[in-house]
């Protein structure tokens, strides 16, 4: 067993796609009903159920509570919970809480909220690896009694030296041949708190010459005098991830233990523990390729650095790759689930284009977000031939195709348009207002720009226009008006703040830069532009946190979940109407 090469389920080789899937958004844009990519795990589960190997599928999602979940975790959540749903099984949520120094209740609460927000519910109570600490400790004693574990006094530096490397075998610890009695005594004293952190470790006795370095006498327990968020101060020794994971799966009766490819080399150790302990079940580990998304970082260390150094405003800053950030930005659970289904499940590493994720949210919001108008950079317009004091209440649909009802927009003498919708010297193809030119106001009349009012510096501060009263809902007589622009009434519009979010990094691979540069040097300085004094149509006054809209001609936006309130509206841009990065 010591040098065993990880085995692969017989179906995996036959079911793996021969080439990487096309992950560009364009590959899906003309497919009204996209077929899910080849999914080898789905077929493995189906085969196991049909053969009677398992009567029910039991999966688990086992995050470490040492940070917020990111978009890569979404793939694992959708896979584990999705397989259980599809085949009538159950999925557990279990926190692998074996490193209390880096874990916090804040992360536990956030992870639970993210899983539920994505639309999934775990089976039974939330589980913790720490629920099994007593059983794991008892099993460690069994390994000692069987001569398969020993207490080692090597320092971490010495242990690394003794371990060898990929081309050279390791060498046995000088403490490897301690007697069972001495090991039991030392382990009991470790448990009682007699030794300081790092003084000793309990290691499995496997094979220091194994080609797989994970089998070179791995650590089972370390001394850590740390308060635990679940067990308090009961323990001052904590089990390693490898010693905890497979046994926790066995205790819970997990049928398919699904993890990412970096754990493939850990599978022989996973199985060694199961073979050498009286576990109640024999789960099987399977691996899939993790989600790599360009223009982002998902490393918890790098995310924490961005937060701690103030490059972003917290773990839910809408520019980050965390699920709480995507939620705050306005992404929907359905769009993320669809994204995870589109990219498929394979054993081949690939980088997915951010444009694919943006395509999924555009497609969702195009169908489901109500329409509204918001002027980001207001320019006052006075319609000189419109009767003073008169107000018309125009009715506009909330969605051009879906039945979402209507909204009322007052039309009167004074209104706002966007500054970019009037130019004195426009470029070729410009179809908005120009001196003496006409445009249609969305859902309203055709107006003509008659005169621009400027300030002392020559900046245009107001347009004097005239309207054609015979153009409400119909084209003007004898002429064509091509341009349509959005607008809001001056008196009835509400002031708001709009935050224009963009990709946090300038290049697809943030880690790739000039020599000596870090991913921080790749931060996009235009990833956030804050606009104050914007003017929104009256229907937006009642926008609730996380409510999503298409601001006509501007993009998709949502009311900010933290800062937006009735007397201070704040909208976050979720995504632009079109992909500007792919151009």
Q: Are 410 and 492 in contact (CB under 8 A)?
A: yes
Instruction: Catalytic residue, from 4, 300, 304, 398: name it.
Output: 300
DSSP H or E stretch at residue 11: helix 10-15
The answer to the question of whether 290 is labelled as a binding residue is yes
Any known ligand binding at 221? no
Which pair of tokens denotes residue 364? 């969702």
Residue 241 marked in a binding site = yes
Residue 180: other Cβ atoms inside 10 A? 13
**Chain CA centroid to CA 167, Å:** 38
> Over the Cα atoms of the chain, what is R_g?
31
Alpha-carbon distance of 559 to 342, in angstroms, equals: 28
Q: Is 351 helix (H, G, I), strand (E, B) or coil?
A: strand
A 10 A CB-CB count for 94 gives: 23
**Can 60 be counted among the known catalytic residues?**
no
Q: Is 65 annotated as a binding residue?
A: yes
Given the residues 290, 431, 448, 506, select the one marked as catalytic: 290
| CA 455 remoteness from chain centre | 47
* 260 annotated as ligand-binding: yes
**Strand pairing report for 460-468 and 378-383:** parallel
Yes or no: say if 391 and 410 are a contact pair by the CB < 8 Å rule: yes
CA distances from 309 to 66, 171, 304, 313, 503 (A): 18, 42, 8, 10, 19
Q: How far is the C-alpha of 122 from the C-alpha of 171, rounded, in Å?
A: 44
Q: How far apart are CA 154 and CA 152, in angstroms?
A: 6
290 has catalytic annotation: yes
Of 261, 231, 256, the residue nearest 246 (C-alpha): 256
Q: What angle do CA 208, 169, 245 make, to 5 degrees?
A: 45
User: Known binder of ligand: residue 197?
Assistant: no
Q: Is residue 502 annotated as involved in ligand binding?
A: no
Q: Judge residue 151's burial from the number of C-beta atoms within 10 Å of its C-beta, 0-12 exposed, 13-18 middle, 19 or more buried.
A: buried
Alpha helices (H) in 51-70, listed in sequence order: none
Q: How far apart are CA 50 and CA 166, in angstroms?
A: 41
Residue 71 in marked binding region? yes
Is 287 annotated in the active site? Answer: no
**Spatial separation of the C-alpha atoms in residues 96 and 168, rounded to whole Å:** 32
Q: Which residues are catalytic?
A: 64, 290, 300
Sequence ranges of the binding site for L-glutamine: 96, 241
Sequence ranges of the binding site: 64-66, 70-76, 96, 241, 260, 290-291
Sequence ranges of the binding site for ATP: 64-66, 70-76, 260, 290-291
């Amino acid at each position: 067993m010591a040098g065993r090469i990880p085995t692969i389920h017989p179906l995996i080789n036959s079911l793996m796609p021969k080439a990487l899937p096309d992950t560009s958004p364009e590959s899906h844009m003309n497919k009204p009903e996209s077929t899910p990519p080849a999914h080898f795990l789905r077929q493995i589960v189906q085969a196991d159920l049909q053969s009677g190997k398992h009567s029910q599928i039991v999966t688990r999602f086992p995050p470490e509570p040492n940070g917020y979940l990111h978009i890569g975790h979404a793939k694992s959540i959708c896979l584990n919970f999705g397989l259980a749903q599809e085949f009538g099984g159950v999925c557990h949520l279990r926190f692998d809480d074996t490193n209390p120094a880096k874990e916090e209740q804040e992360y536990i609460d956030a992870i639970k909220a993210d899983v539920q927000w994505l639309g999934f519910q775990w089976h039974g109570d939330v589980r913790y690896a720490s629920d099994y600490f007593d059983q794991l400790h008892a099993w460690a004693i069994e390994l000692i009694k069987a001569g398969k574990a020993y207490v080692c006094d090597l320092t971490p530096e010495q242990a690394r030296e003794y371990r060898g490397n990929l081309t050279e075998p390791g060498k046995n610890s000088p403490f490897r041949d301690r007697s069972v009695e001495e090991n039991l005594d030392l382990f009991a004293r470790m448990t009682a708190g007699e030794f300081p952190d790092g003084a000793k470790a309990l290691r499995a006795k496997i094979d220091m010459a194994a080609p797989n370095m994970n089998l070179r006498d791995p650590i089972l327990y370390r001394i850590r005098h740390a308060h635990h968020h679940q067990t308090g101060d009961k323990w001052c020794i904590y089990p390693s991830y490898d010693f905890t994971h497979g046994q926790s799966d066995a205790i819970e009766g997990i049928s398919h233990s699904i993890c990412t490819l970096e754990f493939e080399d850990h599978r022989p150790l996973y199985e060694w523990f199961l073979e050498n302990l009286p576990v109640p079940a024999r789960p099987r580990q399977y691996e899939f390729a993790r989600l790599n998304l360009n223009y982002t970082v998902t490393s918890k260390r790098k995310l924490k650095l961005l937060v701690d150094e103030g490059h972003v405003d917290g773990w839910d800053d809408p520019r980050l790759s965390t699920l709480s950030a995507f939620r705050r930005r306005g992404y929907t659970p359905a769009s993320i689930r669809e994204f995870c289904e589109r990219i498929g499940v394979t054993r081949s590493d690939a980088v997915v284009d951010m444009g694919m994720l943006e395509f999924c949210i555009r497609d969702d919001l195009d169908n489901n977000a109500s329409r509204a108008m918001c002027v980001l950079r207001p320019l006052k317009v006075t319609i000189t031939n419109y009767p003073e004091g008169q107000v018309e209440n125009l009715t506009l649909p909330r969605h051009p195709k879906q039945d979402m009802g209507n909204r009322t927009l007052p039309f009167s003498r004074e209104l706002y348009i966007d500054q970019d919708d009037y130019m004195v010297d426009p470029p070729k193809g410009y179809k908005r207002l120009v001196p003496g030119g006409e445009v249609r106001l969305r859902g309203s009349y055709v107006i003509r720009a008659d005169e621009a009012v400027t300030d002392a510096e020559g900046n245009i501060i107001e347009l004097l226009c005239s309207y054609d009263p015979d153009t409400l809902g119909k084209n003007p007589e004898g002429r064509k008006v091509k341009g349509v622009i959005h607008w809001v009434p001056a008196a009835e519009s509400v002031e708001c703040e709009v935050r224009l979010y963009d990709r946090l990094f300038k290049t697809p691979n943030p880690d790739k830069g000039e020599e000596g540069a870090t991913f921080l040097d790749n931060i996009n300085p235009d990833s956030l532009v804050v606009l104050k004094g914007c003017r929104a149509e009256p229907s937006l006054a009642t926008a609730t946190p996380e409510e999503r809209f298409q601001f006509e001609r501007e993009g998709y936006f949502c009311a900010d979940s933290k800062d937006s309130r009735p007397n201070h509206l704040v909208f976050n841009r979720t995504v632009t109407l079109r992909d500007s990065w792919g151009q």
